[in-house]
Amino acid sequence: MARKLFGTDGVRGRANFEPMTAETALRLGMAAGARFVRGEHRHLVLIGKDTRLSGYMIEQALTAGFLSIGMDVLLVGPLPTPAVGHLTRSMRADLGVVISASHNPFHDNGVKFFGPDGFKLSDEIESEIEAIMESDPATRRAPSERIGRARRIEDAGGRYIEAVKSTVPRGMELDGLKIVVDCAHGAAYRVAPRVLMELGATVIPLGVAPNGVNINDGCGSTHPQAVIDAVVREGAHLGVALDGDADRLVLVDERGALVDGDQIMATIAATWHEEGRLTGGGIVGTVMSNLGLERFLAGRGLKLERTAVGDRYVLERMRVAGYNFGGEQSGHLIMTDIMTTGDGLVAALQVLAAVMRAGKPVSEVCRRFDPVPQLLRNVRLPPDVSARRVLDLSHVVRAILEADAALGEGGRVLVRPSGTEPLIRVMAEGDDAARVERTVAGLCDTIAAAAPVAAE
């Protein structure tokens, strides 16, 4: 069954507009709870969130929905997405919920679910939840004596901090290292600086004063200039930039150069391969990963298996094919031996372990390959225009095929709708940078001109 409500990463939209309303969140909580109620034991759902103003509204509505069908609720407050996945499993909850729109601006919000194993739900289960939402809610309500209870737990952050610290090699300390960490005024604003400080680093925190509307606003992994400036100004050894829910990471080396997800994947994959820790004979990436990463891995006898964009698709392939590491160029890094979903803080520590092991600066350790020239641009669509309709227009299809052919065997074109915003993303890469630039510009012009046609 095709999903109408769920996208590539849960349910997402503008806060207080459908589907991100209190009414829909209430129904979503009832339906998701009903899907995971089984047996006669007291059922438990754990709910975390980031720092968006609308998080209070969505949290309360979801809580009411879960309580009404007889589930008890643990509220953990602002915590990274990976923390919720970890705690769902370690606290033996039947379901975990994160209220976050990740790297999006504050006016957006979203809801994503984790099963009792700590992993995100499959497309099939999300479809089942949608089907339950269409049924009569009266059939799902618990009898009066079985209504659930809700309570807040205060030690959730501490549990996660200890779990993250346990992922570093025994005896590794960060004494003498100066690290800038930008928490994007988001979910990691308390826990990320504490982890690094407790491991011995001198920490310069940025983005740790959330006010409900400043999450991801000119800061974090999607706006890393603040970290770059701070690293250079403070003479830091490393900059760490997380996004609003801390499942995404980019780094900045001691010279102020950005280290993206592809370079981080190359660094961790090579280190784990040398240590005999890498399984599956390679890693899983997406269609967005740079060709340079694929060539780097091939030179070491490793493969890069590509999936559609979205960390859930990376994770699904990892679990099916036996890989223990994968990720996205944008900075989602998944290490299933450690956490059940992407964790920016854990990934940063794995890079730091490689740096400490090598005894070299970050600029040397994390510059593993020369990227093939790659350019990504977004074409924003009017609200009433379907990205799919635009991309199905015959002259747009023809333009994409011709552009891909023109780049030859050493290049490629990727055009896709965003899974979270009204955008069409246009990417091209190839050894000829000028040709890549012309290719992307031409396709963006074609798509922009086609949007009004698709609306008719």
Q: What is the pLDDT of residues 301-325, one digit of tens each?
A: 999 999 998 888 999 999 999 999 9
Sign of CA dihedral 305, 306, 307, 313: positive
3-class SS string, 47-98: EEECCCCCHHHHHHHHHHHHHHCCEEEEEEEECCHHHHHHHHHHCCCCEEEE
Average pLDDT, the chain: 94
120-169: pLDDT as tens digits:
999 999 999 999 999 887 788 999 999 999 999 999 999 999 999 999 99
Q: Which of 102, 221, 289, 330 is catalytic?
A: 102
The mean pLDDT of 69-74, rounded to a whole number, is: 97
In this predicted structure, what is the pLDDT of residue 9? Answer: 85
Distance of CA 337 to CAs 82, 147, 164, 322, Å?
A: 13, 37, 13, 11
Q: Using DSSP, state whether 99 is helix, strand or coil.
A: strand
- Which amino acid is present at 135? S
Is the pTM here over 0.85, yes or no?
yes
Q: State both tokens at 234.
A: 């403070």
**CATH number of the domain located at residue range(s) 11-155 in this protein:** 3.40.120.10
Q: Using DSSP, state whether 30 is helix, strand or coil.
A: helix
Domains 11-155 and 176-246 belong to one CATH topology:
yes
The mean pLDDT of 217-243, rounded to a whole number, is: 97
311-370: pLDDT as tens digits:
889 999 999 999 999 999 999 999 999 999 999 999 999 999 999 999 999 999 999 999
Domain ranges in the chain are 11-155, 176-246, 260-365, 374-455
Q: Which CATH class is domain 260-365?
A: alpha beta
21-32: pLDDT as tens digits:
999 999 999 999
pLDDT level of residue 455 (50, 70, 90 thresholds): low
Spatial CA neighbour of 346 closest among 188, 175, 113: 188
In this predicted structure, what is the pLDDT of residue 418? Answer: 85
The mean pLDDT of 252-268, rounded to a whole number, is: 97
Q: Which fold has domain 176-246?
A: Alpha-D-Glucose-1,6-Bisphosphate; Chain A, domain 3 (3.40.120)
102 classed as catalytic:
yes
Q: Which fold has domain 374-455?
A: TATA-Binding Protein (3.30.310)
pLDDT level of residue 408 (50, 70, 90 thresholds): confident
